[in-house]
Structure 1
Amino acid sequence: MLYILTSSVLSAQKSATSGVAAFKQASDALTQYFDPLVTLIYVVGAVVGLIGAIKVYQKFSQGDPDTGKTAASWFGACIFLVISATVLRAFFL
């Protein structure tokens, strides 16, 4: 009976330390992939900015009176992507 109780306590301590090691490993993996993810967000922001510039130019060329609203929405989305990536990097790293 004492052997079973002792082995279960030791087993619980071993699994607790392996759980801490698993969390540390997951944290390291997340940190490793964070910089490429932020770079990807910057690239998506650049693509959104280019597409937005083309859309705004098309509306401007056609004489659409709604050009200002379109420009604000496209470039606002681009600025949001860049700022959110910068804030995420500052917050998590």
Structure 2
Amino acid sequence: MKTNMRKFYAVAVLLLLNISAFAQDGNAGINEATNQVKSYFATGTNLMYAIGAIVGLVGAIKVYKKWNDGENDTGKVASSWFGSCIFLVVVATVLKSFFGV
């Protein structure tokens, strides 16, 4: 029985040493992941600006069509479309300044 316990303790010690060796590489992995996310961040904010521009153009076309048709809810449609466009641009700008990229 004592030999089985000794084997168990030996395996447990080796396992703990192995885990501590992997934990030291964890910081390097987290730093690498952070650098990769930062490298994609500028592209993501530019994508948000582009989506905001497309939403603005689609909104302008819809508002122009409603205005020419003489519909009563033109102001409501204009505020919703352009509000969403402004929201996308503001969110991209705030995220860019918040994360310091």
TM-score by length of 1: 0.89
Cα distance in 2, alignment partners of residues 41 and 68 from structure 1: 25
Gap regions ≥5 residues in structure 2? 1-5
Q: How many residues align?
A: 92
**Which letter maps to 2:78?**
A
Determine which structure has more spread, i.e. the larger CA radius of gyration. Answer: 2
**Which letter maps to 1:62?**
D
Aligned match of 1:27: 34
Percent pairwise identity:
46
Task: Quote the offset at 1:46 in angstroms.
Answer: 0.2
Question: Runs ≥4 in structure 1, deviation > 6 angstroms?
Answer: none
Cα distance in 1, alignment partners of residues 98 and 43 from structure 2: 16
Task: Quote the offset at 1:13 in angstroms.
Answer: 2.3
Aligned-residue RMSD, C-alpha: 1.5
TM-score by length of 2: 0.83
- 1:80 aligned to which of 72, 77, 87: 87
Gap regions ≥5 residues in structure 1? none
